[in-house]
Amino acid sequence: MKKKVTLLPGDGIGTEVMSAAVKLMHHVAEKYDLTIETTESLMGGCSYDAYGTPLTDETIQLCYESDAVLLGAVGGYKWENLAHHLKPEAALLKLRKSLGLYTNIRPAKVYPSFVNSSSLKESVILGTDFVVFRELTGGIYFGEPRGYDENKGFNTMVYEKYEIERIAHQAFKVAQKRKKVLTSVDKANVLEVSQFWRKVVEEVSKEYPDVKLNNMYVDNTAMQVVRDPRQFDVIVTSNLFGDIISDIAGMITGSLGMLPSASLGDKYALYEPVHGSAPDIAGQNKANPIAMIGSVAMMFDLSFGMKETADLIEKAIERTLDQGFRTVDINLDNGNVVSTDKMTEMIIKNFDIIYQENKESVFTL
Ligand code: IPM
Ligand code: MN
C-alpha cells in the first residue's frame, strides 16, 4: 500500500515535534509494508516570511492531492502584530475551510501512570476517557457580518441545519461504538442559534435510539469537566464552545502537550496536536512529541484504516510514560526528564517491543 502525506511543520516547536513524529511514522509504516510518500511545505509565520502570506495556494493544492495532512503548529511572537488576515492563525482557519474539515475530534484521555501530572486530584481524573467533537468550519468563527469600527465590534454566530446534522451524525456514530452516551453542549438558555442547534441534534438523535442524548449548557459543562470528567464519553459542540471545552479537557490530562486531534471532512483529513507553537521553548529539543505522535496514530486509524497499528502506538506512548520518561511540560511528578529526541526514541523502542509481543501472542493463539 502507498499513501501520500503532506507535512506542514509550521513554526516554533512545530518543526521539532513534526520531525519526531515523521521518524516514528516511517518506522511504523515499514513494519506493515506501507510506503508513505511525504511532501513538505511552509505554513504559518515561516510561509509569511518566505512568501508574504501564511498560506499559499500551492500549499493548499498539495493538501488536495494527498491522503492526509500532518500539521505541527503555527504562530509566534514575531508575527503577532501583522494584519489579521496575514497572521498564522488565519492560515489555519483558511486551511480548515478550504479542505472542508468540519469535524474536529479531540480525545481527552488520562494515562494511568500520569495522574500526578494533572493539576486536578487523582481521585477526580483517574479513568477519564472522553472525546470532544468540535464543529470546525462554521459558527462564530466564520459567520457574517463581522468587523469593528471606532464604536463597535461584532461577529455572527450562525449555524445552517446541514452543518449541525453532519457533525451530529459523526458524533452519534462514534457514541454508538463507545458507551452510547452523547452530551451536546450549547447555550440554549440565551442564544437562538443554540436553541436551533439543540432542536437539530434532537432530531438526528431519533436515528440513534440506542444512544442516550444529554443536552448541557456550556458554562455548566466547563464546570462539570473539572468536577467530574468521568461522566463524559462523547461531547458534541459548536466551534467556539469546542475550542474552550477542549482546552479545559487538555489540562485534565496534564498538559496540552499530550493531546492529539483529527480534523475530518468528506474528502480530506488533517491531523495536528492541540498545542501551539510554544516559541518560549522552541529550538531547544524540549518539546513534548506525544500529541504529534498521537496525531499520527489517529491518521493510521482514521485515514489508513489501521486501528490496530494506532492502538500499538498508543500503547507505546503509555509504556514510555509508565517507565517514567517525561518532557519538561509533564514533569510534575519529578520523573526522568528527557529531550524530544529521547522521548521519541523511547516510544519507537517500545513500539517495536509491543509489536513483537503482539505478533507472538497472535502466533500462539
Ligand atoms: C485551536 C486554536 C485555533 C482555534 C486558533 C489558533 C485559531 O486555538 O486549534 O484550538 O481557535 O481554533
Ligand atoms: Mn484552541
Domain spans of the chain, in order of start: 1-104+256-365, 119-253
Write down the residue that cell numbers 507505546 correspond to: 316
Query: CATH topology of 1-104+256-365 equal to that of 119-253?
Result: yes
pTM above 0.75, yes or no: yes
CA terminus-to-terminus distance, the chain? 27
The number of the ligand nearest the C-alpha atom of 44 reads: 1
How high is the pLDDT of residue 34? Answer: 96
pLDDT beyond 80 at 114: no
The strand ranges marked E within the chain are: 2-10, 35-40, 68-73, 103-109, 129-135, 147-148, 153-154, 181-186, 212-217, 234-237, 262-264, 269-271, 325-326, 336-337
How high is the pLDDT of residue 364? Answer: 65
Number of Cβ atoms within 10 Å of the Cβ of 43: 30
Strand partners, 234: 131, 182
Band (pLDDT 50/70/90 cuts) for residue 285 is very high
CATH, range 1-104+256-365:
3.40.718.10
Buried b (16+ CB within 10 A) or exposed e, 150-184: eeeeebebebeeebbebbbebbbebbeeeeebbbb
The number of the ligand nearest the C-alpha atom of 93 reads: 1
Distance CA 305, CA 308 (A): 9
Ligand 1 probe mutation, 8, 93, 256, most atoms within 8 A of CB: 93
pLDDT beyond 90 at 337: yes
Percentage of the chain lying above the pLDDT 90 cut: 88
The pocket around ligand 1, CB under 6 angstroms, is made up of: 89, 92-93, 243
Number of Cβ atoms within 10 Å of the Cβ of 57: 9
Index of the ligand 1 atom closest to the CA of residue 239: 12
Band (pLDDT 50/70/90 cuts) for residue 263 is very high
pLDDT beyond 80 at 362: no
Predicted confidence (pLDDT) per residue in 139-167, tens digit: 999 999 999 999 999 999 999 999 999 99
How high is the pLDDT of residue 365? Answer: 58
How high is the pLDDT of residue 160? Answer: 98
pLDDT beyond 80 at 261: yes
Look at ligand 1, atom 2, and give the residue with the nearest C-alpha.
243
How high is the pLDDT of residue 55? Answer: 98
- Residue 262, helix vs strand vs coil: strand
Distance CA 269, CA 283 (A): 28
Give the residue among 97, 5, 105, 3 at the shortest CA–CA distance from 55.
97
How high is the pLDDT of residue 98? Answer: 98
How high is the pLDDT of residue 205? Answer: 98
Q: Any residues with CB less than 8 A from the CB of 60 and at least 6 apart, and which?
A: 94, 95, 98, 99
Look at ligand 1, atom 5, and give the residue with the nearest C-alpha.
89
How high is the pLDDT of residue 38? Answer: 98
What is the rounded radius of gyration, in angstroms, for the C-alpha atoms of the chain? Answer: 20
CATH class of 119-253: alpha beta
